[in-house]
Structure 1
Amino acid sequence: MLLDIKNLHVKYGNVEALHGIDVEVEEGEIVTLLGANGAGKTTTLNAISGLVNVTKGEIVFSGEALHKLPAHKVVTRKITQSPEGRRVFGVLTVQENLNLGAFTSKNKERVAKSLEWIYELFPRLAERRTQLAGTLSGGEQQMLAIGRALMSNPKLLLLDEPSLGLAPVLVNQIFKTVRQINQAGVTVMLVEQNARMALKLAHRGYVMEVGKIVMADSAQALLKNPDVLQAYLGGAE
C-alpha cells in the first residue's frame, strides 16, 4: 500500500471538515475523489500535504506516518500537489517556476531530466520558457502548475481541479497528459469537478459527502452506479 489513510479527522476551528475517512491508494493507481463543493476533497489533499493539521487518525505513506510532519517535510517524501487555482508565481518566468518545483532536489542531473520530460509533456511550456507565468493563458498556467509539481520526481501527485475554468479541448489535453504521467510510474490522486472524465481516467474512486466517504468502488462500477449517475453525472447517458 502506497498511501493508507485511517479514521482521518480535520477541524477548521470548531468545525470538523473530515469525519473519520478511510482512503487507500496502491502504487501505480489513479484514484479520484468525487463530491460536491464543501465535501472535504481539497481538505483531504491538504491533510496529505501537511497543509492542515490532523486532529485524529493516521496518514501513512510508504510505511511512514505523515500526519505529524510539517508540509516542508512531507514534500521531501516524494509527494507533491498541484493546487486548485494553479497558484503559479506570475512575476517569475516559466523556467523559474519549474526550477522552484525542484528546490528539494540536490541532484542536478535528475533535475535536468525532469525538466526535459516536462517540456516533452507540455511543448507549449518549452516554447514559453522565458515568458512571465502571469501572462500565460489559463490552460498554460495549469500545465505549468502540474509541471512544477513533477519537478521533484514524485511518487504521488495530488491534482486538485486540473480542468477548472478550461475550454473542453484543453481539458482533454490535460487528462491525456495525466494518463501519460501515470503510465510513466507516478501514482495520482485526483480531485476533479468533471466526474465522468475523472472516472474514465481513474482506476478507482471515492465519493465524499460532508466530510465522509459514502461510496468506494472501481471507477467502472461507479460510472454505472445509478446513485452516482443521478448525483454527479447528470443522469443516464
Structure 2
Amino acid sequence: MTDNSPILELKDVSVKYGNVEALHNINLKVFEGEIVSILGANGAGKSTTLMTISGLVKPHKGEILFDSKRIDGIPAHETVEKGVIQVPEGRRVFGTLTVMENLKLGAFTVKDDSATKKTVEWIFELFPILKQRKKQLAGTLSGGEQQMLAIGRALMSQPKILLLDEPSLGLAPLIIRTIFETIKEINRQGVTVVLVEQNARAALKLANRGYVLEVGKIILEDNADSLLQNPEVQNAYLGGKH
C-alpha cells in the first residue's frame, strides 16, 4: 500500500432501511495512523456508517475499500478477520462471563496463542483495573470498566482499524478523560481509529480530521483544529464559542 492511499475509503455509499435512506452518497477516507472523528446529532447516521463499514449493514449503492480491496460484499466476520474491529455503542459485554472470558472471546480470529498472551498483557497495561478484576463477572463492573473491557475485547482481535461508537456515553467526566487518553495511546501504538462521539469537543481534540454528518449526508470535512474553530460546528455541536 502506498503512503498516499487510504487504509479505509467509502465511495458514494448509500444505505436504506426499507424506503428510508439512512446514508446518502457518503465519501470518507481514513489514512493509516490517523484518528478520524465522525460528528453529528442523534439520527444523523453516525452509527449506521460504522455498522456499514463493519459489514453489519449492507450498502445498496457504493463501495467500501479496506487496504485497497473491496469489503462491502463480505460477511461481517470476514471483515473482522481483515482487521476492522468495532466497539459497539452501549458496550455490550457478556455480563455472565468474567473479564478474562470476555477478552478471550475477542481473540477468536487469532490463531497464535503467544500473540494473544502479549495482547492481554498490553490490555492490562492500558487498563490496570481490568487486571485487578480479571476473575470478576463483567456484569458487576462499573460503566467505565465495562467500556474499558469492550475496548480491550476489540483489541484482542489485533485490529488494524478500530471503530469506536460513542465510547463516552453515560460515563463520568473523569472516566471519559481516562478512556480518551487510552484511545490516544492505542493510536500511538499503531492502531488507526474512527471515532463516533456525541462529545464533539473531546472527539475533535483527540482527532486528526473530522467529518460532520447531517441527516445521512456529509456536510463538512476538515482537519480537527479547523472544525473546532468553525462557527457552524461551534454553534451546532460545541454549545457556542468557548
Instruction: State TM-score, norm by structure 2.
Output: 0.97
The aligned residue for residue 208 of structure 1 is 213
Cα distance, 1:13 vs structure 2 = 1.3
- Alignment deviations for residues 72-98 of structure 1 (CA, whole Å, 9 cap, x no partner): 111000010110000000000000000
User: Aligned-pair RMSD on alpha carbons?
Assistant: 0.4
Ranges in structure 2 where 5+ consecutive residues have no aligned partner: 1-5
Taking the aligned partners of 1:115 and 1:42, their CA distance within structure 2 comes to 28
Secondary structure at the residue paired with 1:88? coil
Taking the aligned partners of 2:117 and 2:212, their CA distance within structure 1 comes to 38
Of 183, 195, 206, the residue aligned with 1:178 is: 183
The aligned residue for residue 3 of structure 2 is none
Taking the aligned partners of 1:38 and 1:10, their CA distance within structure 2 comes to 14
Cα distance, 1:63 vs structure 2 = 1.2
Cα distance, 1:39 vs structure 2 = 0.4
Which runs of structure 2 are paired with 1:51-200 in the superposition (5 Å)? 51-200=56-205
Cα distance, 1:2 vs structure 2 = 0.3
- Alignment deviations for residues 88-130 of structure 1 (CA, whole Å, 9 cap, x no partner): 0000000000000000010011111111000100000000000
Cα distance, 1:152 vs structure 2 = 1.1
Taking the aligned partners of 1:73 and 1:183, their CA distance within structure 2 comes to 26
Cα distance, 1:41 vs structure 2 = 0.4
Taking the aligned partners of 2:152 and 2:217, their CA distance within structure 1 comes to 31
The aligned residue for residue 16 of structure 2 is 11
- Alignment deviations for residues 138-174 of structure 1 (CA, whole Å, 9 cap, x no partner): 0000000000000011100000000000000000000
Matched, 1:218 2:223: yes
Taking the aligned partners of 2:219 and 2:171, their CA distance within structure 1 comes to 29
Secondary structure at the residue paired with 1:54? coil
In the comparison of the two structures, how many residue pairs are matched? Answer: 237
Cα distance, 1:224 vs structure 2 = 0.2
Identity of aligned residues (%): 65
Secondary structure at the residue paired with 1:22? strand
Cα distance, 1:45 vs structure 2 = 0.2
Taking the aligned partners of 2:162 and 2:214, their CA distance within structure 1 comes to 23
Matched, 1:23 2:28: yes
Secondary structure at the residue paired with 1:59? strand
Secondary structure at the residue paired with 1:149? helix
Secondary structure at the residue paired with 2:60? strand
Taking the aligned partners of 2:9 and 2:197, their CA distance within structure 1 comes to 21
Moved over 4 A (4+): none
The aligned residue for residue 227 of structure 1 is 232
Ranges in structure 1 where 5+ consecutive residues have no aligned partner: none
Cα distance, 1:14 vs structure 2 = 1.4
Secondary structure at the residue paired with 2:27? strand
AA partner of residue 190 (structure 2) = G
Taking the aligned partners of 2:77 and 2:183, their CA distance within structure 1 comes to 25
Taking the aligned partners of 2:138 and 2:103, their CA distance within structure 1 comes to 10
- Alignment deviations for residues 195-219 of structure 1 (CA, whole Å, 9 cap, x no partner): 0000000000000000000000000
Taking the aligned partners of 2:68 and 2:237, their CA distance within structure 1 comes to 34
Taking the aligned partners of 1:195 and 1:107, their CA distance within structure 2 comes to 38
Instruction: State TM-score, norm by structure 1.
Output: 0.99
